[in-house]
Amino acid sequence: MMMTTEQIVASHKANVETLFGLTSKAFEGMEKLVELNLTATKAALSESAQSTKAALSVKDAQELMALQANLFQPFAEKTAAYSRHLYDIASGTSNEFTKALEAQTAAAQKQFANLVDSATSNAPAGTETAVAVMKSAVNAANTAYESVQKAVKQATDMAEANMAAVTNTAVATAKTAAKKR
């Protein structure tokens, strides 16, 4: 099966559109990251100024220890929140790339399947066994690819669940530690 000029142009056009779409998603992710970092930096500077003023007004060591204990819990919570936002940005951007990759892969598989079907329908007599072996190999490759996709999805879901559990544990630990002081 030969591709016509129109099919080649359409294929290149679709590839360019995908490239620009992914580039746009990457820039959106970077914009979100920059915005998150600017917000975190502004908050950190403001809190640092407040903490410094509070530390300069401390009258004794006991008051200083109490001040430090009161600063630790919000810091841990804010760090956990920052980590969650960072993970959400990275995960969202990654999901967009994964969707595009899956769409491109599906299109390539369909195009290859059409090519195999065309080649097998035009195969000379007596090559039925070779055609069957080729179709079987293509089906096995597609099945293997789908299995890998499912395994990656399960691993991603597990990583997200673990990230949430670690974040929740860190915040709970910080709260407990702050209460004990």
Q: Lowest-pLDDT range, 65-79, 125-139, 163-177?
A: 163-177
Task: Select from 89, 100, 94, 91 the least CA-distant residue to 30.
Answer: 89
Q: Lowest-pLDDT range, 1-10, 45-54, 93-102?
A: 1-10
Number of compact structural domains in the chain: 1
Q: Which residue has the tokens 């640092």?
A: 48
Specify whether the CB–CB gap between 86 and 37 falls below 8 A.
no
Residue 141: its pLDDT value, please?
Answer: 80
How far apart are alpha carbons 112 and 48 in whole angstroms? 60
For 6-38, letters b (16+ CB in 10 Å) and e give: eeeeeeeeeeeeeeeebeebeeebeebeeeeee
Q: What is the pLDDT of residues 17-50, one digit of tens each?
A: 888 888 998 999 999 999 999 999 999 999 889 9
Residue 179 pLDDT exceeds 80: no
Copy the structure tokens of residue 55: 């530390």
Residue 27: its pLDDT value, please?
Answer: 92
Specify whether the CB–CB gap between 17 and 84 falls below 8 A.
no
Range of the domain at 152: 5-180
Q: Lowest-pLDDT range, 29-43, 93-107, 154-168?
A: 154-168
The whole-number average pLDDT for the span 142-147 is 81
